[in-house]
Structure 1
Amino acid sequence: MTRAPRKVLVVGGGAAGNAVTILLRRAGVTVDLIEARPDWHAATGSGITLQGNALRVLRELGVWEQVEACGFAFGSLGMTAPDGTVLHVVEDIRTGGPDLPATVGMQRPRLQQILIEAVRACGPRIRLGTTVESLDQDADGVSARFSDGSRGRYDLVIAADGRNSATRAMIGIADRPEPTGMAIWRIAAPRPEGLERTDLTHGGPAYIAGYCPTSATTIYAYVVEGCRARASVPAESYADEMRALAEGYGGFWPEIVKHIDDPAKVNYTWFDRHLVEGPWHRGRVVLIGDAAHCCPPTLAQGAAMSLEDASVLAELLTTREDWDDRLLTDYHARRLPRVRMVVDASVQLGRWTLDGVRDADVPGLVGRTMNALKETP
């Protein structure tokens, strides 16, 4: 007897949800993808840093050529003094292997657009402006009721609805992101001539100042400071606040500062730590991406960990006959040590900065972590 095609509900149309949808559809799995935002294209954020292990998954998704064409590849990291003097340049570790760049910077909305186009091309049922109202499970599957009053029946539900995942709470997982004590100001800007890699400055008016090229003509720039109460920083002051910090830096910063003039284009975000230590599933509902874990961007590995989740889960779902508790437990067992390593290292780097630890082994921690990520997940 021929088995009916399996049917999966993916909740969330960000990087993790889009990636797992593409991989499952490629294997012939029926997928419904829902996204809470009515405008799926409205990805927030000024830019994203994609290291080799993220690029490896994007190549698996079949979108590497578009990413390469739209992004800005580079292979080194500069350390500079607050006045812009270059103190040291290190070669980045190629975590995706020798045939991929060490790092690609991209405009985050452009990456989202590339993934959306790939999702649409693979033929899932897509519903925007839609959320899950309830999930009822039994031994054979999950019945979902949606915000538009419709219902669906699924063999598996994949919760890819971000760090504030409503699905995570719905299935009784109480873990939530917790602030680490640091916050970041970000803005997209034109790329100054000669800026061809990420440079980081530790010290000066903020804890960290840096930038990343995101295309031939653009960058995103950021400054990191201690958390302030959000109510004390009105949105209309965002440009003034970021500019006041950024004006204390030299090098390319005076050119960047000229473009910090519109508060609507400045993003202010606290750093969070989040890792669900226990199982990432309840019955036939499983977490991936930021719904299961997130970390400060000190290692630029957040998107990579989400994309790897999608790749590993899709591999298990498309190579095993039984979609059972053992499969989802094995998924968790494969992902937890690697994700914990990244989360803990990312938080530790920030903690050393907050505590002013001058003899911290930052190069050693970064090197060990990045070398470990060269291994396929």
Structure 2
Amino acid sequence: MSAESTKSGPPLQTSHALDFLIVGGGIAGLAAATALRRVGHNALVLEKGERASVRGSGGVRLPPNLTKILFHWGLKPALMQKALVSHTMTFMRYESGDYLGEHVWDTGILKETRGDYMLCTHDDLHDILYDRATELGAQVRYGANVVDIDVENREVTLENGEKLVGDVLVGADGEYGVSRATVVGQSINGHPTGVVMYDTVISSDDLKEHVQSLWKDNAIFTAFGHRHALLAYPIHDTDEIALQFYGPDNATGNYGDEPSVDVPEIAEELDVRLRLHMKKARKAIRVSVRAHDDIEDWVSDDGPLVVIGEAAHPFPPGTIQATAMAVEDGAVLAKLFSHLSENRQIQDFLYAFQELRQARTRAARAGEFGNVFYMTLEDGEESRTRDSGMRAKAAEGAHNVLEGLAGDVSRLWDQIRTIFGYDCEDEADDWWVQWGVLRERAIERDTEDQAASALLDFSGLTMQVTETATDESE
């Protein structure tokens, strides 16, 4: 277990500071900049958009595996000012509003994670990370659009023709950015899943009368429907409610687009008591849920370029681990590079990052896709079994109506507990102890052996024999 996981204190500082160029100024880029500055490396973040647009809007759920990292980084007071701690999930039917039950997070499990389950907004989280990164000395340039990456020369070219060089290039510019295309060798847009997410916000006064459960332990309200679902949870000190609708996909849309969808148009199947108030919600941003094939390599074969966040592992929009995995990436990258002492270690550390993160993010992403499809099941035997099982447990007085259900549901919740308890910084420290130190010792021994061999190497010596004439008279 890392020292920072058990007590507060300064992190290990690198003895060999590098210049990191980070392409992308979203959550992944700012988290990486914050983490790298904490251990003594230099970080320049290049973001093509302006700060107002990059900050985003809408709600974001912060699971314990994310908040524990921010706590380690000294950001707990800032989080407590901006975010709400949540303990409960309430489940209903989308079309009728019928109550299905609730899930109350076990306090023992949450305590073991050393984090909290919190509710925040994307712009508030962005501000927290931006403020911390810049306080630590990271530089953030907005309006700096990277159009080309020369990995061999560790150089990026901006749209205005300016060229910048760094020791390590970090691609945090999303699934459609230049970094992912550079590593893969081509642009890849993923595959449609037939599901879309709509992201918006509404005043809490407009819903409080009909969804009182939202204010019990800052609960997350989840509604299951026929090919539809709704997540709703309080933000901004419960003054507003973040809304995330899922439904059939028939167009395109991405994060960064302007809000353009009238919520009543997408809530036609919603319980009438809630639907009447949806006209007061802000216009929603439309984001298609696309499935991306895993890319084999996150590190370029041509030099020190690594992709992180959505550039490495695009998640379904609105899911809880999408943001968490991006922050974990930055934390692990910095932990590994805190041990850097020579340039020769750079590529090894980048491949160690890939090794540590790929299995973790793939498992989490598969779970999140499973959750999206589970919430939006078509009416049929599977959805009826789900709902009847939850109702039966609620009737028994159970506080965790998803626990113990048959099949995939039980498996999903077991995975969630495992994901919440994971400490990515500890895992990075364990890699260094188990593999990094041993490798360094092996290199040192090899160097010492080569030096000793050089001292004993007589192959370059020559011997000259001089014959002395013999005096025959003797």
Q: Please tell me the TM-score bracket, short chain as reference.
A: 0.7 to 0.9
Counterpart position of 2:308: 288
Question: Which residue number corresponds to residue 81 of structure 1?
Answer: 93
Residue 170 (structure 1) aligned with residue 182 (structure 2): yes
| Residue 159 (1) aligns with residue 202 (2) | no
Query: What amino acid sits opposite 1:279 in the alignment?
Result: D
**Residue in 2 that maps onto 1:22:** 34
Match of 1:244 in 2: 268
Counterparts of 2:175 and 2:149, CA distance in 1? 19
2:332 corresponds to which residue? 312
Q: Which residue of 2 aligns with 1:53?
A: 65
Aligned mates of 2:46, 2:190 — CA distance in 1: 23
Which has the greater radius of gyration? 2
- For residue 294 of structure 2, what is the aligned residue in structure 1? 276
Q: Is the 8 A contact 2:147 2:178 kept in 1?
A: no
Q: Deviations over 1:276-297 (max 9, x none)?
A: 3311010200000000112225
**TM-aligned CA distance change 1:237 to 1:7, over 3 Å:** closer
Q: 1:350 aligns with which of 358, 364, 372?
A: 372
Alignment of 1:25-44 (within 5 A): 25-40=37-52, 42-44=54-56
* Structure 1 unaligned residues grouped into runs of 5+: none
Name the aligned partner's letter for residue 159 of structure 2.
S
Match of 2:115 in 1: 100
Shift of 1:341: 0.8
CA distances 1:23-75 after superposition (whole Å, capped 9, x unpaired): 11122211111101023564223111111111112223332221221112111
SS at match of 1:221: strand
Q: Equivalent residues in 2 for 1:117-156 (5 A)?
A: 117-138=131-152, 142-156=154-168
Structure 1 range deviating more: 41-50 or 108-117: 41-50
1:103-155 residue CA offsets vs partner (Å, 9 max, x unmatched) = 211121111122221122111222110122333234xx612222232222211
SS in 2 for 1:49: strand
**Partner SS state of residue 359, structure 2:** helix
Which residue among 207, 213, 222 is the counterpart of 2:228? 207
CA distance in 1, matches of 2:150, 2:260: 44
Moved more, 267-276 or 19-28: 267-276
Kindly tell me: are residues 166 and 218 of structure 1, through their superposed partners in 2, closer, same or farther at Cα, counting changes over 3 Å? Answer: same
Counterparts of 2:418 and 2:126, CA distance in 1 = 27
| Whole-angstrom distance in 2 between the partners of 1:272 and 1:54 | 24
Structure 2 residue identity aligned to 1:276: D
Q: Is this contact kept in 1: 2:21–2:43, CA < 8 A? A: yes
Letter in 1 for 2:120: M
Is residue 369 of structure 1 aligned with residue 381 of structure 2? no
Higher strand share: 1
What CA distance in whole angstroms lies between the structure 2 residues aligned with 1:70 and 1:185? 23
Deviates more, 1:344-353 or 1:206-215: 344-353
User: TM-score scaled to structure 2, two decimals?
Assistant: 0.70
Whether 1:198 and 2:220 are equivalent positions in the alignment is: yes
Contact 2:260/2:285, CA 8 A, preserved across alignment: no
Identity %: 20
CA contact (8 A) 1:133 1:145 kept: yes
Amino acid at match of 1:122: L
Distance in 1, matches of 2:73 and 2:269, equals: 39
Q: Which has the higher helix share?
A: 2
Matched, 1:259 2:272: no
Provide TM-score, normalisation by structure 1. 0.87
User: Deviation above 4 Å: which 4+ runs of structure 1?
Assistant: 93-96, 234-237
What's the CA shift for 1:376?
1.6
| CA distance 1:28–1:40, change in 2 (3 Å) | farther
Partner of 1:9: 21
Q: Distance in 1 between matches of 2:371 and 2:154?
A: 41
1:60–1:171 CA distance, 2 compared to 1 (3 A): same
Counterpart secondary structure, 1:89: strand
Unaligned stretches of 5+ residues in structure 2: 1-13, 387-406, 425-474
- Indicate the larger mover: 158-167 or 39-48: 39-48
The count of residues paired between Structure 1 and Structure 2 equals 364
